[in-house]
A and B are shown apart, each in its own frame.
Chain A
Amino acid sequence: MRLYKPEVEAQRFWNPYTQTMPRADLDRLHLRKLQTVIAYAYARSPMYRNLLDRNRVRPEQIRTLDDFVKRLPFIDKKEILDAQAVNPPFGEALATSEDFFHQRFATSGSTGAPLHIPLTYHSAELWGESWVYVYWAAGLRARHSFYFPFNFGIFAAFWSAYMGVRRLGATVISGGGLDSKARLRQIEQYRPDVMLATPTYALYLGETARELGMDLARTSISHVIVAGEPGGSIPATRQAIEDLWGARCYELYGIAELGPTNPGCPLREGVHLCEEWYHALVVDEAGNPVPYGEVGEHIVTSYIQDGQPLIKYRTHDLVRWTDEPCGCETTWLYYPGGVLGRTDHMIIVKGVNVYPSALESLLHRVGGLSEHYELHVDRDATNDFVTVKAEARPDVDESRYGDLHRDAEAVIRSVIGVSIGVAVQKPGSLPRYELKAKRFFDHRPAAHRWQLAERPGA
């Protein structure tokens, strides 16, 4: 027996009503949703009431999308943290009473205080729903089983993916409480169809498999869905995962405090904005929306977060957006290449924008280099400069490191047009990670990093 009727299961889209809606209709629908969320936040969240009052805006003044773009201020993580600090853990950021909470999450606080993230049952269902768009696009249905190779904790990471499997009606298999070797044995035993992981961990399991003498391409895994860091939309990284697992690799781009904002496109060259549950702008440093086709900071409004609303929230992620059809026939906005980097990771070398994701892609072109690397950025009087530390593959003799170094620098120079130093490292010399990898090390003074203007329309 199947959960969905055959004619429904065969459909391309999870919700064809909005996924194929013409742009003008989508924008009209966005305006109604934005007005609803803004009125809700203003009425119930002291933080938003103060923010709008300070900016002399009232919800009923947002009559058009242009009003939304020009009149409403951005909000940043620091303002949420300040509002939470008034009466921890949620303080003035909260818009509902705690008896509506379904679950609480928090960020690690590695760069300051942890951000607390309340989730109502309604929000949890919709976080899950946002994942279903990529599951469905990848051809996954209720008959498939999903393996989660990590420990669920206070971090939101992959909880929403789990909620999505429940929403789809499929099977969850948890690899919590196990080490990597035991997880691989569990995959052999339970034969799941899908594995969810960061790109880093999906590749790291390859090293573990080699130690076990196990060929991951011969396991039951037919789909690897990656999230948590760029990689799924970087062709070389995606190819490395697909070759390792003998599987198709898809991506979802999400943000801990907002949820799964961008399910991957089935054509796998980028991600779409989940316009059912999110609105987005992509802006330049002055806060003005950049034209379609250009890169800027991703500013997101959630229709999901009723516990702690987030409107025009600065993600600090750099994306390129486009309204051009990508080929999968959805009308939802498309971000080719997924996340290109972080605004605080923006590097300008001799006037050329260099994106960390582009460097990762180029390093994969150099035969003999592994997927493990670090970018170190510093600045002299006039320019950023970058040094890449890249690990050689275990089967490459150390006498060839000089060739690898020259090949990598030549590939980068030929594609990006500027010189970037590459230092080849021995296998195993760079740290390994189970969730997100730390690859970017910024040694520049703060004044030389991306600075978004305080208000839009400046």
Chain B
Amino acid sequence: MTHAETLERIRDLQARVRELRQASDNPAIERTMQLLDLYCHMARWELGDVEAMTPEAEGR
């Protein structure tokens, strides 16, 4: 898989994780999706896709 394809899939995954986090009313699922969001963010930085420092903290 190319670098660009990997990044595209991570961005897509992150968007879907965020949707699920918003839609869920289960604390365990919300926390798990929050961590998945964070790991997607880390993976994007690791591949040079620098968007924000920490989207979670910056959003609040």
Contacts and interface: CB of A to CB of B under 8 A. Distances in A.
A49 B60 CA distance: 19
A17 B47 contact: yes
B10 interface: no
Interface residues of A, number: 23
B48 A17 contact: yes
A144 interface: no
B38 A121 contact: yes
Given A18-B48, A120-B57, A276-B46, A125 B38 contact: yes
A300 interface: no
A17 B46 contact: yes
B59 to A, nearest CB: 11
Nearest to B39: A125
B60 to A, nearest CB: 7
Contacts of B58: 40, 44
Interface in B10-60: 35, 38-39, 41-42, 45-48, 50-54, 56-58, 60
A128 B38 CA distance: 15
A120 B54 contact: yes
A266 to B, nearest CB: 20
B58 to A, nearest CB: 7
Contact of B56 (A17, A37, A40, A100): A100
A120 B34 CA distance: 13
A85 to B, nearest CB: 24
Contacts of B42: 122, 125-126, 129
Contact of A306 (B39, B50, B57): B57
Interface of A: 15, 17-18, 29, 32-33, 36-37, 40, 44, 95-97, 100, 120-122, 125-126, 129, 276, 303, 306
Interface of B: 3, 35, 38-39, 41-42, 45-48, 50-54, 56-58, 60
19 contacts: A17-B48, A18-B46, A33-B50, A36-B51, A36-B53, A40-B53, A40-B54, A44-B58, A96-B54, A120-B54, A122-B41, A122-B54, A122-B56, A122-B57, A125-B38, A126-B42, A303-B45, A306-B53, A306-B57
